A and B are shown apart, each in its own frame.
Chain A
Amino acid sequence: MRDCNGGRRRKEEGFCVESWQMEAEKYQMDLGNLMASDPTHHFESVPSSRFVTVILRPGSCSQGVSPGKFRLSEEELTRACLEKGTELVQAIANAVFALPSTDDRDGPIVRLPPPTTTLPREKHLLKPKPPTKWELFAKMKGIKKRKKDKRVFDEQTGTWKRRHGYDRVNDDKDIPIIEAKLSDGNEPGEDPFSKRKAEKKQRVEKQEKNRLQNLKQAAKAGALPSHVQLAATALPITGTHGEAPKKASKEELQNVAGMAATATASGGKFDKKLPGEKPAKHAGKYRKFLPVVEGKGMSSQEKQQTAKILDQLMSKSSHGMLDVNKAVTMFNVKKEKQRRKEKEHETSSAAIKLKPKKKSLKKSSKKKH
């Protein structure tokens, strides 16, 4: 077994108490990080072939092994490293086990000292928040914060109500009647309830604006609270036209997607339907043709179609859009036809034979030849 440190033997059975104390002084230990480093050990190496010459410094060397150069192979190198590592770890363990420990059900628990090696932080330190406008004002005026109760006594109903929230004290909507007074602020015809609502809305808007200003100041100082983010809603205005691009609604987007799909389909490329996409509201066809074969019942589509058109026309015509001349001629023609029919009927019944023979023009043409 190799000795360490000026001839004190490290036996298999136990430790010499002083030896590990001396080791502790030799190594640099950071108990908080459970780290030990040995700055005195020196390896002098020769390139990457893993044959390393080790020079043992005379001070740290043991008795019985003379200082000199050793050529170590890979395994021996690892073994030497592990040995050194073991020593260091033993030194840390000695120090750690020596700390006062409390017994827990999982094992002894030891309070480690804070680490001595300073490592850089991950994020910046918190900067103090700049005081808000109200805080500055309150400080100037000497106004102190007063703790408010959650429950407040309401005189009107005579019960304890909460200060904020459902069924609260001094709620605007609880007022049933407002007297109509003719003072400078009130016009005679104005609704006082809506006026109160408008005032409240204004107050809330003002408060929001102030809050935004306070947060902007905090952001400038780098002390924005962790859960708040300030986001730009519109691009900064450059030039005279500062129109923010209108955000497309859901329906618009769906329509546009459908139109784009139709356009590309007409070019021959058919888009795949995504899993969440709903089918197009309006199918491709815009004209409805009647079926070729259909029954002749009451509900036949052709009949319905024609009836519909007729109704439309008739309803249109019933508003007085008549062609008077045409109507008159039609009426006259109809009457003439009727008279002629009546005449024929009369004469035909009386003497059919007395009628002169009608000369056919065709016969005369024949006679000439």
Chain B
Amino acid sequence: MDGAMGLLGGGGGGGSSGGSTDGSMSTVSKAEVVEQDYVGLMSEVSSYPAEAELELGLGLSLGGAMKAKPCAWREYGRILTAKDFPSVVSRGSSASSSSSSGRGTSTTAITGTKRTADTVAQDVGHANGASQVVGWPPIRAYRINSLASQVKASTAEEDDHSIFGNDKNKNSAKKDTNNSNNKNNSNIQEKGCRRSSLFVKVNMDGVPIGRKVDLNAHSCYESLAQTLEDMFHRPTTTVNANRSSGEKEHNLMVEAAKSSRLLDGSSEFVLTYEDKEGDWMLVGDVPWGMFLNTVKRLRIMRTSEANGLAPRFQERDQRQTPAPRLRGSKPI
């Protein structure tokens, strides 16, 4: 069709044509050959294409890769080498992964076996958690939330679990907790281990449609607030209508490197949550784990409406802006 196809066409088809790679893999298995092709293709990429027609060897990359900023391409070319494939054998091949959770820098995606927390392919429009491929595995949101709410009901607070880990504990814990706990849902998640997800609704004043965010994908207020800001700065028409003048009308993402304005009070909005008792509290007052335990849902509220929110907030009424303590989770 166009020049683009040549790159992929030559490299595909089960690796029969190894033309674009080094000839150093004559005896490798089919799988390896396939992936080797991509290595070759990758290393030929030196810059992000200006024209659309130059399709890159993104064979096994996830969607996020396509949105990579130009510099990320070099990483692709650099990181992927023959010995990264086939990590089909070694399950712990995180060597090739970049550790950032930013968009477009996910590279272990290519290795194809184990994806750790470090590998992130973001679908830009749906940043509901920094550590998963969007929409994968293909499970309806309802079911995910249903599992999550079972977990929420049964586990104690956990502040500092890593998102992926503790698998050694799991197996033994799994069999034991059965007896000590009436609720069977403890089998879904052992105490002390990572929860799967904890989705809560988020509504923003002036935005008719709410979103959902996975609280367990974050370990601190800062990252949660950042995610929420990204989520609600998406250019839906209604959000655009609410933005202050000076921003572009068209659908461009506001990609500013900012600290969470929601938490430091410099935004016209503040982040609040409804707790188990039905009270609306300002986010950031309590330790993260305690917050996870009591939060029912979130609301991004206009600062003007947030006065008299909760006793703690009123103490700070005397100040010009909400307390800086809200940045992060450390109480004063």
Answer yes or no: are A and B bound together in one complex: no
Where the two chains meet, the residues of A that have a C-beta atom closer than 8 Å to any C-beta of B are none
Q: Which residues of B contact A (CB under 8 A)?
A: none
